[in-house]
Amino acid sequence: MQAIVHRQYGTPDVLALEEIERPVPGDEDVLVRVHAAGANIGDHHIVTGKPYLIRLSPFGGLPRPRNLVPGATVSGRVEAVGANVTTLRVGEEVFGQAAHGAFAEYLVVPAKLLAPKPSNLSFEEAAAVPWGATALQGLRAAGLKAGQRVLIHGASGGVGTWAVQIAKALGAEVTAVCSARNVEMVRALGADEVLDYTRQDFVAGGARFEVMLDLVGDHSLSDWRSVLTPTGAYVPCSGGGGDWVGPLLRIVGGLLSSLFSTVAGSSRRSS
């Protein structure tokens, strides 16, 4: 089969179309004939190998990529099923998310990671749907309830556009942050208020939210704490923090900053 492969880390220039062996499904797997695959920031991290910490994960590899074919979200038709698969059948249209390998003609995926494709979605639309799960999981983790105020930073991106719609469907009051060129698009998705970050400093705006979904990672935790209610929930889901450890560096730095601020405040009060 043909596939887009990367045999070294780097810019998209390292990607090449090659002929490689077609994968064979195991007993719990499904072989999918790929019709569409999504491209997103996660694939960018896998191809570039940055943040470098990703090279130590099962998705990476040292000193070169362990998995040659990137691509995680997919839609297509079932070509073959493993001996123990009973939930899907050959010829069925499916979509889902794999660990890697979607940028190819065929992909092996555990059956539990696939679902029948809704008939009202195109293959291209269905391949984008799995990233909506990130938004849903983030909002659920925060315990978002109807009537609460939620701030979505990075509302015009792949996850952010889903987050705006899901938050509205859950009955929340949505404030979305994006660039000027995307304001009208995000407003059309249902946001109650849309802020252009190039013109409005939402951290200094004084508004308080019960939930903050951060899809950018360009502020400290102390900044986010200032826009949350005392019991508000902050959910980080971003790639900020540099080339080495990515968002972990920003989160740890914010926690240390908060700790030092608390210690300093206690010392001042005791003196």
Global pTM value: 0.78
What pLDDT sits at residue 106?
98
| C-beta of residue 102 within 8 angstroms of C-beta of residue 71 | yes
Question: Quick one: pLDDT at residue 265?
Answer: 38
pLDDT at residue 252 in the model: 45
Percent of the chain clearing pLDDT 70 (strictly above): 87
The CATH superfamily holding the domain 2-130 is Medium-chain alcohol dehydrogenases, catalytic domain (3.90.180.10)
- Which pLDDT score is estimated for 134? 87
pLDDT by residue (tens digit) across 204-262?
877 799 999 998 878 877 888 899 999 999 998 875 556 655 555 444 444 443 443 33
Beta bridge partners of 80: 31
pLDDT(1) > 90 = yes
The more confidently predicted of residues 205 and 155 is: 155
Q: Is residue 123 predicted with pLDDT exceeding 80?
A: yes
Cα 77 versus chain centre, distance: 24
For residue 74, count other CB atoms closer than 10 A to its CB.
28
pLDDT (0 to 100) of residue 210: 96
- Output 157 or 28, whichever has higher pLDDT: 28
Q: What pLDDT shows up at residue 243?
A: 67
| Residues 142-270, CATH architecture | 3-Layer(aba) Sandwich (3.40)
Mean pLDDT of the chain: 87
Q: Which of 8, 76, 71 is nearest to 36 (CA)?
A: 76
Q: What is the pLDDT of residue 251?
A: 43
Average pLDDT of 200-206? 81
What residue spans define the domains of the chain? 2-130, 142-270
Lowest mean pLDDT among 91-105, 109-123, 233-247, 250-264: 250-264
Q: How confident is the model at residue 45 (pLDDT cuts 50, 70, 90)?
A: confident
pLDDT at 271: 42
Percentage above 90 pLDDT, the chain: 66
Question: Residues 47-89: pLDDT tens digits?
Answer: 999 888 888 888 889 899 999 999 999 999 999 999 999 999 9
